[in-house]
Structure 1
Amino acid sequence: MTDNAPKNPLTLLGLGDMGTALARTWLAAGHALTVWNRTTAKAETLAAEGAVAAASPAEAVAASRLVVLCLLDDASIDSALEGVDLTGKDLVNLTTGTPAEGRARAAWAEERGARFVDGGIMATPTMIGVPEAGGYVFYSGSRGLFDTHREVLEVPAGARFVGEDPGHAALHDVALLSAMWGMFAGISQAYALIEGEDIAPKDLSPLLSEWLGAMGFFVGNAAERLTSRDFTTGVVSNLAMQVAGSGTMLRTAEEQGVSAELVSPYVELMRRRLTSDPAAHGGEDTVGAITLLKR
């Protein structure tokens, strides 16, 4: 193979913002890329950049062993691939979905003679193809498929294999996003509290970043306690103290004319853990409240 010869070929179905970003990184890296999109304009744009625009999903799938899906939702996969021969194909699904959808899609692919890996993208489109941005993709399912195509999959972003259960990529994805949203909720509450005060958001910002960094120890602490189920050893600020202090937070929000809807569910969870058995739980770390979330 010469330096100018196309590298490992692949097919990409779906050219939304994320799909287009993925496509351009593979093209820039010299991979032979076949693309398909329900509306043809985006495929035609990429064809002008070196991709091959397929007229149908079947034509696109037939062009490569490795087929990457980046469609609107799980139902879109059924719509796009209905009646398409998948025998011998390696399907990598980067369509956003749930763990159950990933597992069901893996069984669906196996029934059609294909290997399958599900993915969870931990990046925005602007982070794709930018290693220093720190984006990566969780993958789970067929280890053989992942190992075969790892070099290609690592072109757009880092690749992290999280197990052969096809649902685990989506589960890791949503777990991290859930933590992110919770953090965003707390940050939103903090800024709402100073609205209308002689405190500039830009002055609170470095203090907020510093404080959140200092509180990062909770991640490891929670993992250790949930593993050991020991919620009492070495507790510094116990549940009873946290619940007592929560009243000040809620009263301050009321005084400032700010809704407490972003923080009150967590306060209620801690209170519920405490009141279920004050003697048993009062001295615990707040991590014990997590156990109430499992239905």
Structure 2
Amino acid sequence: MNVSVIGLGQMGTRLAQAFLAAGYQTVVWNRTRAKADALAAQGATAAATIAEAAAAPLVVVCLTSYGAVREVLDPVREELRGKTVVNLTSGTPETAREMSAWLSGHGAGYLDGAAMSGTQLVGRPEALFVLSGDAGAFAAHRAALASLGNVVHLGADPGLASVYDGALFGLAWGALAGFYHAVALVAAEGVAPTAFAQAAAGHMPFVTSLLTEHARQIEEGRYPDDDGTVNVHAAAMDHLVHASAAAGVRTDIPELFRGLLELAVIGGHGADGIASTAQALSKEGAA
């Protein structure tokens, strides 16, 4: 089966290479022809026009914006009838739903998606791709899409992939921000970042093990204090803020965490488990 990749930036190039490695005839198109030619040297077919790229039954798009996607696809919107478009361009849930309505209106199957593992893992099983939209289109092309990594269909709402994209991006940055602060703190005592990273990597399985249990607690609205109460963690966070200041390290990150714990206390969760902190971030808690 033919697959086409439109947009050959860093991610688009890796997508095309993954399809090629999996044995798919891969058509590539880019406004800058040189990028397509480089992939042609690896076995891809460089499309001379966007219409040639739109002729494949599976069209994967990875451009800079949804506006750019629409600009590129608009001249071939009728040629996309009966095809499946997978859009891996970053955007918002609203723009994803608008794109879905537009392409569906022209008879194309539409899947919105996000690559959650950067470019280096593309083509490997641990690379996570979240997709949402036309379930039939996903089922029809699941095997080809699996060439990219672990592809997960989240549901029929095309906006869901964008929601997960933002949520997982924030999760990753929350973890990384905590790590960067920790590295600065131990570095003040002469500890090398790589030495600390070994201890941090050993600690993270415990941290990730909390996710499923805390998610269940949040759904049920019950917060046992097995992992310590909000009050206990608030006191420990005070110590982290003071230790950071004493070491000459910026306290922005632990102060953010302390602020969230304080909101949980104000909300009446001081004696509850720390998962109750999520209530301070909900619409009801914000109100």
Query: 2:235 maps to what in 1?
Result: 244
Whether 1:93 and 2:93 are equivalent positions in the alignment is no
- State which drifts further: 206-215 or 251-260: 206-215
**1:264 corresponds to which of 245, 252, 255:** 255
Shift of the 219–68 alpha-carbon distance from structure 1 to 2, 3 Å rule, reads same
Q: How far does residue 48 in structure 1 lie from its aligned partner after superposition?
A: 2.6
Secondary structure in 2 aligned to 1:281?
coil
**Deviations along 1:211-240, whole A, 9 cap, x unmatched?**
232233321222111110112x35441111
Whether 1:59 and 2:49 are equivalent positions in the alignment is no
Query: 1:33 maps to what in 2?
Result: 26
Q: How far does residue 164 in structure 1 lie from its aligned partner after superposition?
A: 1.0
Secondary structure in 1 aligned to 2:120?
helix
- For residues 138 and 42 of structure 2, the distance between their equivalents in structure 1, rounded to whole angstroms, comes to 27
Paired AA for residue 47 in structure 1: A
Query: 1:162 maps to what in 2?
Result: 154
- For residues 187 and 138 of structure 1, the distance between their equivalents in structure 2, rounded to whole angstroms, comes to 25
- For residues 41 and 130 of structure 2, the distance between their equivalents in structure 1, rounded to whole angstroms, comes to 31
Whether 1:223 and 2:215 are equivalent positions in the alignment is yes
Whether 1:214 and 2:209 are equivalent positions in the alignment is no
- For residues 244 and 158 of structure 1, the distance between their equivalents in structure 2, rounded to whole angstroms, comes to 41
| Paired residues for 1:43-122 under 5 Å | 43-61=36-54, 63-84=55-76, 85=78, 86-122=80-116
| Paired residues for 1:145-184 under 5 Å | 145-184=137-176
**Deviations along 1:83-131, whole A, 9 cap, x unmatched?**
3223222111111222222222111111222110111112222212233
- Residues 235 and 284 of structure 1 are in contact (CA less than 8 Å); yes or no, is this contact kept in structure 2? no
Shift of the 11–286 alpha-carbon distance from structure 1 to 2, 3 Å rule, reads same
- For residues 50 and 19 of structure 1, the distance between their equivalents in structure 2, rounded to whole angstroms, comes to 15
Query: 1:11 maps to what in 2?
Result: 4
- For residues 217 and 158 of structure 1, the distance between their equivalents in structure 2, rounded to whole angstroms, comes to 21
Secondary structure in 2 aligned to 1:24?
helix
- Residues 237 and 257 of structure 2 are in contact (CA less than 8 Å); yes or no, is this contact kept in structure 1? no
**Deviations along 1:231-276, whole A, 9 cap, x unmatched?**
2x35441111211222111111110111111221121011022124
Secondary structure in 2 aligned to 1:127?
coil
> Identity over aligned residues, as a percent?
33
Secondary structure in 1 aligned to 2:252?
coil
Shift of the 258–50 alpha-carbon distance from structure 1 to 2, 3 Å rule, reads same
List runs of 5+ in structure 2 lacking aligned partners. Answer: none
Whether 1:294 and 2:287 are equivalent positions in the alignment is no
Shift of the 269–40 alpha-carbon distance from structure 1 to 2, 3 Å rule, reads same
Query: For the aligned residues, what is the CA RMSD?
Result: 1.8
Q: Which stretches of structure 1, 4 residues or longer, exceed 4 Å deviation after superposition?
A: none
Paired AA for residue 103 in structure 1: R
Query: 1:4 maps to what in 2?
Result: none
- For residues 101 and 118 of structure 1, the distance between their equivalents in structure 2, rounded to whole angstroms, comes to 10
Secondary structure in 2 aligned to 1:82?
helix
List runs of 5+ in structure 1 lacking aligned partners. Answer: 1-7
Paired AA for residue 267 in structure 1: R
- For residues 105 and 135 of structure 2, the distance between their equivalents in structure 1, rounded to whole angstroms, comes to 18
TM-score of the superposition, structure 1-length normalised? 0.89
Q: How far does residue 159 in structure 1 lie from its aligned partner after superposition?
A: 1.6
- For residues 266 and 121 of structure 1, the distance between their equivalents in structure 2, rounded to whole angstroms, comes to 28
- Residues 18 and 123 of structure 2 are in contact (CA less than 8 Å); yes or no, is this contact kept in structure 1? yes
Query: How many residue pairs get matched?
Result: 281
- Residues 225 and 274 of structure 2 are in contact (CA less than 8 Å); yes or no, is this contact kept in structure 1? no
- Residues 13 and 37 of structure 1 are in contact (CA less than 8 Å); yes or no, is this contact kept in structure 2? yes
**Deviations along 1:154-190, whole A, 9 cap, x unmatched?**
1121221111111122222322222111111111111
